[in-house]
């Protein structure tokens, strides 16, 4: 197998083939090498020991691969990450890195079936903000009856806060060209509850992916998970997307109050006007955020979401 151009390793004892991790399954890492080929590699023993106490290697990680004398391919080094998409671990465990070096988070919701829940959308958008990604709200299934009635509420709650909103429908084709343009540069992660149509949206812009789509339970309005682990997919025409398992809610790890406040873009620029530099915008007097709330400059439902998220930390 020809692996292509190499780079010298730090210890000059070997040569590395740089690439990006596409997916990890059972200790085997699928890597797209910069030279153009896709290979499978294992993790070097020393690196396993180093990572045991830290983050695991995930989709989006930049790595260096070496070939042993026996022809085996191993990941020898993991590059520093630009960004990390992190989710809280189950049962109070430490936060878990889902994907690395992601540029934006597309929070995908459905207009209905499952029902649109603004508080859930807030959680995904806040997750993107906290992780340093560009959050965008994508509302799918706009062809369903009553979907257009969401428009004013979306404008008031999300667009006014500074978020880009894409209204799309796989069935009618509405907004699909704009969705394709959104994903045409950098790495985008699709996050959102199961059943909202993330895989269907990807199939609409890249039919060659042939991703499985899940049915939605009529009784509970929840979709069946069709993606087992995060994986990085290259899109025709440019761009990469991280396909993740569907999940119905986002739980946050321990965040400082100011970190949560910074995740609400409509608060930015107001904190300098608060009486206290460490103002949490919850109970302090002379708070510029609460004054903006009272004047109607900040949407009351968004502020309620901020209070709920802050109190859950």
65-81 residue pLDDT tens: 999 888 899 999 999 99
Which of the residue ranges 118-122, 225-229, 245-249 would you say has the lowest mean pLDDT? Answer: 225-229
Mean pLDDT value across residues 189-208: 90
Q: Token pair 């965008």 is at which residue?
A: 136
Band of pLDDT at residue 8, cut at 50, 70 and 90:
very low
pLDDT, tens digit (0-9, with 9 covering 90-100), for 88-103: 766 666 778 889 999 9
Give the predicted TM-score (pTM) of the model. Answer: 0.85
For 84-243, CATH gives 3.40.50.300
Name the pairing type of β-strands 38-43 and 73-78.
parallel
The more confident residue out of 265 and 250 is 265
Whole-number pLDDT of residue 205: 95
Rounded-to-integer distance, Cα 78 and Cα 74, Å: 11
CATH fold for the domain made of 7-78: OB fold (Dihydrolipoamide Acetyltransferase, E2P) (2.40.50)
Q: What is the mean pLDDT of residues 170-187?
A: 97
- The whole-angstrom separation of Cα 186 and Cα 102 is 8
Most confidently predicted of 217-231, 232-246, 248-262: 232-246
Q: Percent of the chain at pLDDT above 70?
A: 83
Residue 302 has pLDDT above 70, yes or no: yes
Name which of 36-50, 83-97, 101-115, 240-254 the model is least confident about.
240-254
Query: At residue 128, does pLDDT exceed 90?
Result: yes
Compute the average pLDDT of residues 98-123.
95
Instruction: Give 129's contacts (C-beta < 8 A, 6+ positions apart).
Output: 135, 262, 263, 264, 265
| Residue 242 φ then ψ, to 5° | -100, 115
Classify each residue of 229-268 as buried b or exposed e, where b means 16 or more C-beta atoms within 10 Å of its C-beta: ebbbbebeeebbbbbbebeeebebeebeeeebbbbbebbe
Report whether 168 contacts 196 (CB < 8 A): no
CATH code of the domain occupying 257-311: 1.10.40.50
- Say what the pLDDT of residue 220 is: 41
Q: Say yes or no to pLDDT of 9 above 50.
A: no
Would you state the pLDDT for residue 17?
Answer: 95
Q: What is the pLDDT of residue 313?
A: 57
Q: What are phi and psi of 182, to 5 degrees?
A: -60, -40
Q: What angle do CA 100, 102, 107 make, to 5 degrees?
A: 120
- CB environment 45-58: b (16+ within 10 A), e (fewer): eebeeeeeeebebb
Domains of the chain, by residue range, sit at 7-78, 84-243, 257-311
pLDDT of 247 over the 60 cut:
no
| pLDDT band per the 50, 70, 90 thresholds, residue 245 | low
CB 161 within 8 A of CB 266: yes
pLDDT score for 208: 82
Cβ pair 15, 4 in contact under 8 A = no
Among 160, 158, 152, residue whose Cα is nearest residue 136: 158
Would you state the pLDDT for residue 211?
Answer: 66
Q: Which helix (H) or strand (E) holds 139?
A: strand 134-140
For residue 213, the model assigns a pLDDT of: 58
In this predicted structure, which of 8-17, 139-148, 207-216, 291-300 has the lowest mean pLDDT? 8-17
Which one is predicted more confidently, 265 or 244? 265
């Amino acid at each position: 197998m020809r692996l292509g151009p190499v780079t010298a390793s730090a210890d000059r004892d070997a040569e590395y083939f740089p690439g990006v991790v596409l997916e990890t399954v059972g200790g085997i890492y699928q890597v797209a090498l910069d030279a153009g080929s896709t290979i499978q590699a294992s993790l070097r023993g020393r690196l396993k020991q180093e990572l045991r106490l830290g983050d695991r290697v995930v989709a989006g990680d930049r790595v260096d691969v070496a070939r042993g004398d026996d022809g085996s391919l191993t990941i020898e080094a993991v590059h520093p990450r630009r960004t990390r998409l992190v989710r809280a671990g189950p049962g109070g465990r430490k936060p878990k890195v889902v994907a690395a070096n992601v540029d934006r988070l597309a929070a995908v919701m459905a207009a209905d079936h499952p029902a649109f829940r603004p508080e859930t959308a807030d959680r995904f958008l806040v997750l993107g903000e906290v992780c340093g990604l560009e959050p965008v709200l994508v509302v799918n299934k706009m062809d369903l009856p009553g979907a257009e009635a969401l428009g004013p509420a979306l404008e008031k709650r999300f667009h006014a806060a500074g978020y880009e909103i894409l209204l799309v429908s796989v069935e009618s084709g509405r907004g699909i060209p704009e969705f394709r343009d959104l994903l045409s540069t950098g790495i985008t992660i699709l996050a959102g509850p199961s059943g909202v149509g993330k895989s269907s949206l990807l199939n609409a812009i890249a039919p060659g992916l042939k991703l499985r789509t899940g049915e939605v339970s009529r009784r509970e309005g929840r979709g069946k998970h069709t993606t087992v682990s995060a994986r990085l997919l290259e899109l025709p025409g440019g761009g990469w997307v991280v396909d993740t398992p569907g999940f119905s809610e986002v739980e946050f790890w321990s965040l400082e109050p100011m970190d949560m406040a910074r995740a609400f873009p409509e608060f930015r620029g107001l904190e300098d006007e608060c009486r206290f530099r460490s103002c949490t915008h919850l109970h302090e007097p002379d708070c510029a955020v609460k004054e903006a709330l009272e004047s109607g400059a900040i949407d009351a439902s968004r502020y309620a979401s901020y209070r709920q998220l802050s109190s859950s930390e």
